[in-house]
Amino acid sequence: MKKHTVWFIILIVIPIFKLNSLQAQVRVTGHITAEVISSLAAMETAQINFGRFAPQSAGGQVTITPQGTQSATGTIALGSGTHNAASFYISGESGALFSISLPNGPVTLTNTTNSKTMTVTNWVSLPSQGMGIVIPDKGSQVVLVGASLIAGTNNDNPVGIYTGTYSITFSYN
């Protein structure tokens, strides 16, 4: 019986220990992939234009919505002529998500013939600013931007053209 036990240990148990010790280390090959997608690009296709107006005795505010609607508060009288929201053409990878970051503070417009200024605030966009905007299947999206222009009196803001620039950031999420 002892011989059988010894042979059992030699033939069965020892190879199991050997087998387990052989499996203590295993090497596996992993795979890596990467996909380069289209760069995100943006182009201004229309400038924001608050239009023509007269601030009169107390001034006020002219607002352009992202849809291009013009309105005024205070003593501002709106004139005839063109007004419109800004428009940006965004292109990139279809189905990718991107975000819009509008100016987070006021922007100054300066009269082209003197140093008088006006302030642009309350930036809004369509689609709304933030994360999670999907680039449609066609690979492009139009973003419309509106804001409010604060004008002083006729003395504060004399007749003339006021210009300025602002920055909007579009980025992949």
The pLDDT assigned to 51 comes to: 97
The pLDDT assigned to 130 comes to: 84
Half-sphere exposure of residue 144, counting CA atoms within 13 Å on the CB side?
12
The pTM of the full predicted model, rounded to 2 decimals, is 0.81
Q: What percent of the chain has pLDDT over 90?
A: 78
* Residue range 89-108, pLDDT digits in tens: 999 999 999 999 999 999 99
The pLDDT assigned to 9 comes to: 60
- Structural domains in the chain, CATH included, are 41-172 (2.60.40)
The pLDDT assigned to 5 comes to: 61
Phi-psi region of 95 (alpha: psi -120 to 50; beta: other; left: phi over 0): left
The pLDDT assigned to 131 comes to: 82
The pLDDT assigned to 1 comes to: 57
State which residues of the chain have pLDDT below 70: 1-23
Nearest to 110 by CA among 76, 149, 70, 58: 149
Nearest to 138 by CA among 92, 97, 104: 92
